[in-house]
Structure 1
Amino acid sequence: MAVLLEAGLRPNHHLLDIGAGSLRLGCKAVEYLEPGHYWATDASREIMLAGHAAELADPARLPLDHLILDRDFTFPGVPPVITHAIAFAVFPHLGLARLQTALTNLRDFPMLEKLLFTVFLAPDLTLAALPFRQRDGVVTHRAKAPYHLLAEDIEQIALDTGWSLNRSETLLPRGQVMFTATPTK
């Protein structure tokens, strides 16, 4: 929640939580946002439903139809009112092609102001070809999960799909790096 608040999230905004899982963020965001302003997608709707039942202080603030099964980053049924989106710890499990798909499809949200997402980075092309030990010890890979990417590849995909990027220097769990993407007009 802290990074979303720093990114300008306000109670009247509409948040899309990509890869929401059991609503670890959702339980905080649903209380902060106006009722019905939180949307979640995940590859498992069952996990989101379990989170809805177990994690929310007031489940009535989050309609069940706001929990959307989405394995392909097509965001089916998510309304165009979304102003902010976050994908925390999603792309380290899926890699560059899935990030590109998400960035491409999120451009369909005309009111989207910011997307926050995390990745693991390798420092250069030589090290990217090898398993790379992140600062907390987790070993990431170019061709299997957990994936690491090159910053220049992320920047190029963002440019190609209509986003400008800002890299955060905030230290995140397991050595992940957060980017804030803003749509270019």
Structure 2
Amino acid sequence: EQHGQAQFDYLKSQGLEPQHTFLDIGCGPLRGGIHFIRYLERGHYYGVEKNEAVLDMAREVELPKYGLVDRRPTLRADESFDFEALGQTFDYAWAQSVFTHLPVNNIARCLMNVEKVLNPGGKFFATFYENEQGKRNLEPIRQSPQVVSYFDRDSYHYDVGTFEWVCAGTSLDVEYLGGWNNPRNQKVLLFTKK
């Protein structure tokens, strides 16, 4: 609940407003989602999660528990980042603790598919573990007392240049926003559609 509130507060501080359409990538059991669903206009929240059982729990437990069923959130199981299947374009998108578990080609797939559904000027915020030493550092990095990240296995770390390389030739600009009061030392990137 506390971490979900932190996600919501952060995106609100970045300009999220109730009328915006919002894509929550890796929404899980709606730890952050409940705050967004409550805040956004009815039907403006779309959550995507690879695990259908987690979404079932969100539908059957979390939404009724918080009285949010009538807010009509869209929840979809998908592990290929097929956001076009939602039939909606988005003003804001968020991926908390998604890129930390993905190899770079999966991140590229996610970004290419977000690009297709992000409105011009739309913003996609994603957290990641930073490799400040650059892409040639192959050593593990202690991100926090609980987390060690790696070059080539989960939990992954990346240098910002990797994301710039992935976005080259797309309509996405990438900007490093840095820390956001995350207890595991995840940093934030902002991808804005031109």
TM-score with structure 2 setting the length: 0.86
Q: Is the contact between residue 167 and residue 179 of structure 1 (CA under 8 Å) also seen in structure 2?
A: yes
Secondary structure of 1:118's match?
strand
Structure number having the greater strand percentage: 2
In structure 2, distance between residues paired with 1:28 and 1:110: 21
In structure 1, distance between residues paired with 2:182 and 2:152: 23
- The 3 A distance-change label for structure 1 pair 47 and 137 is closer
2:86 aligns with: 78
In structure 2, runs of 5+ residues without a counterpart are 1-7
Q: Shift in Å at residue 122 of structure 1?
A: 1.1
Q: Shift in Å at residue 85 of structure 1?
A: 0.5
In structure 2, distance between residues paired with 1:177 and 1:86: 13
2:162 aligns with: 153
AA at the equivalent of 1:84: Y
Q: Is the contact between residue 151 and residue 158 of structure 2 (CA under 8 Å) also seen in structure 1?
A: yes
In structure 2, distance between residues paired with 1:167 and 1:25: 22
Q: Structure 1 residues 30-39 or 41-50, which shifts more? A: 41-50
1:118 aligns with: 127
In structure 1, distance between residues paired with 2:181 and 2:165: 23
- The 3 A distance-change label for structure 1 pair 76 and 110 is closer
In structure 1, distance between residues paired with 2:134 and 2:90: 36
- Alignment RMSD (CA, Å): 1.8
Q: Shift in Å at residue 160 of structure 1?
A: 3.4
Residues 1:144 and 2:132 are matched in the alignment: no
The equivalences for 1:1-185 within 5 A come to 1-56=8-63, 57=66, 58-63=68-73, 66-111=74-119, 113-125=122-134, 128-136=137-145, 138-169=147-178, 170-184=180-194
Q: Is the contact between residue 92 and residue 119 of structure 1 (CA under 8 Å) also seen in structure 2?
A: yes
Q: Structure 1 residues 86-95 or 133-142, which shifts more? A: 133-142
Q: Shift in Å at residue 109 of structure 1?
A: 1.6
In structure 1, distance between residues paired with 2:89 and 2:170: 20
Q: Shift in Å at residue 158 of structure 1?
A: 2.2
In structure 1, distance between residues paired with 2:135 and 2:91: 38
Identity %: 27
Corresponding pairs, count: 182
Q: Shift in Å at residue 173 of structure 1?
A: 2.5
